[in-house]
């Protein structure tokens, strides 16, 4: 089964079989990090920009140590090795041992087999997430998986199954760090306590610049697709699932549920890269109690970055910007007191300012604490719910007609880039 996944991305067959299979989970006491106050060691699966940024955060914010790296491409692996060796040298650590550097199509299997690793950070392209997540937890490792956990409905259902199989045995976190940002936590609690009164409607959006990538002049077409996966919807899930999911997740969090229906449109009008992702989405999500959220996004050109969620209720309105404006207006007015930072680079490198200053650090500290305390957390179902919420909007926009949550759950469509990764051995 694993060979089939490696050779042809045959996840349609894999998902059907995996849904019937159990998982072999090691006892928590066999994991180094289960002992309180011991140093937690981790490996990074996927040494690109996001893996480097989040991995650096874990080192700087939690005291965890990178001791293993894995990547399909040797140059990415070497770049990651140099970065973390330089970073950790200042902490008195020796370089990452050569035996803990894994490359090629089987690198993920070699990484999860390492006895030195307590948890694994998954920052591979989203298409791989369900299979990589399944492989990591089957090896008895704690896991922090970047969003989205899946890019199609069968994949999301499989992630839910994975989460159920490890409940109370391992920590499984998903990279929705905004839910840990103190201003956002305070705002959301006030909303849940009724500060807005009965909520009628809302607005959510995520507008950012095109994500530029290198030309890779000597690479094959397949290699270019993998290296520039953010342009490829069969690998990324398209911009609404790969990137815009953050504000959709915020809507789910604030409204305490998922959308029950979506209808919308999308297009590719001005992007000129070699991929097939859309450059804009406009969707209306209907949440329970007929709360409608107008959602818009764009990923092209070089506009002013802005991402936010605004809710409107009988007694007031709330605003939650990535950068600074986090407040409630009306009867129960409140303001987080943030000041504009003028920093606009958020989405690509994962660098946040203003409202999200502490988002990554709080998320990372909470995850490591769950390991060392033995109070394991499990966000698989939450991650799958938000992924499918984004898919609901994507699929409705693709189809140009309304789609309900119930209809989405019946989807058998499997995204498949049909790339033979054994060529990169």
pLDDT in tens, 18-51: 333 333 333 333 344 333 335 999 999 999 999 9
Residue 75 is encoded by which pair of tokens?
């140059």
Domains in the chain, please, with CATH?
2-178+372-378 (3.40.50.720), 179-357+384-409 (3.30.360.10)
Contact between residue 68 and residue 119 where contact means Cβ atoms under 8 Å apart? no
Provide Rg for the chain, Cα atoms.
Answer: 21
Give the residue among 135, 66, 150, 85 at the shortest CA–CA distance from 105.
135
Q: Tell me, what's the pLDDT at 239?
A: 98
Dihedral sign (CA 307, 348, 183, 355): negative
d(CA 196, CA 215): 49
Q: Could you read off the pLDDT of 382-413 as tens digits, one per residue?
A: 999 999 999 999 999 999 999 999 999 999 99
Compute φ and ψ for 158, nearest 5 degrees: -65, -40
Q: Could you read off the pLDDT of 308-349 as tens digits, one per residue?
A: 999 999 999 999 999 889 999 999 999 999 876 554 444 444
pTM, rounded to two decimals: 0.90
Give the residue among 212, 235, 209, 206 at the shortest CA–CA distance from 223.
235
C-alpha distances (whole Å) from 204 to each of 98, 207, 216, 253, 310 are 46, 10, 35, 13, 6
- Chain centroid, CA 104 distance in Å: 23
Q: Could you read off the pLDDT of 231-284 as tens digits, one per residue?
A: 999 999 999 999 999 999 999 999 999 999 999 999 999 999 999 999 999 999
């Amino acid at each position: 089964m694993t060979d089939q996944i490696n050779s042809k991305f045959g996840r349609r067959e894999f998902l059907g079989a995996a849904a019937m299979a159990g998982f072999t989970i090691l006892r928590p006491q066999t994991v180094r990090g289960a002992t309180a106050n011991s140093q937690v060691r981790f490996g990074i699966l996927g040494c690109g920009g996001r893996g480097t940024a989040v991995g650096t955060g874990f080192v700087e914010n939690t005291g965890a140590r990178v001791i293993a790296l894995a990547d399909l491409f040797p140059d990415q692996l070497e770049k990651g090795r140099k970065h973390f060796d330089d970073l950790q040298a200042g902490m008195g650590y020796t370089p990452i041992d050569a035996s803990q550097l894994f490359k090629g199509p089987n690198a993920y299997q070699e990484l999860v087999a390492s006895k030195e690793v307590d948890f694994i950070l998954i920052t591979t392209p989203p298409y791989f997430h369900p299979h990589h997540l399944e492989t990591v937890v089957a090896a008895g490792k704690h896991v922090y998986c970047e969003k989205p956990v899946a890019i199609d409905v069968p994949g999301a259902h499989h992630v839910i199954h994975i989460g159920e199989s490890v409940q109370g045995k391992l920590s499984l976190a998903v990279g929705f760090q905004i839910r840990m940002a103190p201003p956002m936590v305070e705002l959301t609690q006030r909303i849940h306590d009724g500060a807005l009164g009965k909520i009628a409607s809302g607005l959510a959006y995520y507008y950012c610049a095109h994500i530029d990538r290198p030309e890779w002049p000597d690479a094959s077409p397949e290699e270019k697709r993998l290296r520039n996966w953010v342009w490829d919807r069969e690998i990324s899930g398209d911009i609404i699932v790969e990137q815009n999911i953050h504000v959709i997740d915020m809507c789910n969090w604030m409204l305490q549920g998922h959308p029950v229906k979506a209808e919308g449109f999308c297009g590719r009008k001005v992007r000129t890269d070699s991929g097939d992702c859309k450059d804009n989405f406009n969707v209306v999500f209907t949440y329970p109690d007929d709360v409608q959220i107008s959602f818009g996004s764009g990923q092209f050109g070089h506009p002013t970055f802005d991402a936010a969620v605004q809710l409107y209720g009988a007694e007031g309105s709330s605003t939650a910007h990535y950068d600074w404006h986090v407040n409630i207006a009306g009867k129960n007015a409140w303001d987080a007191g943030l000041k504009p930072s003028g920093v606009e680079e958020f989405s690509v490198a994962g660098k946040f300012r203003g409202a999200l200053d502490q988002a990554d650090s709080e998320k990372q500290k909470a995850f490591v604490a769950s390991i060392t305390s033995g109070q394991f957390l499990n966000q698989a179902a939450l991650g799958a719910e938000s992924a499918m919420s984004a898919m609901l909007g994507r699929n409705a926009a693709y189809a140009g007609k309304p789609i309900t949550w119930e209809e989405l759950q019946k989807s058998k469509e499997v995204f498949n880039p049909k790339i033979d990764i054994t060529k990169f051995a």
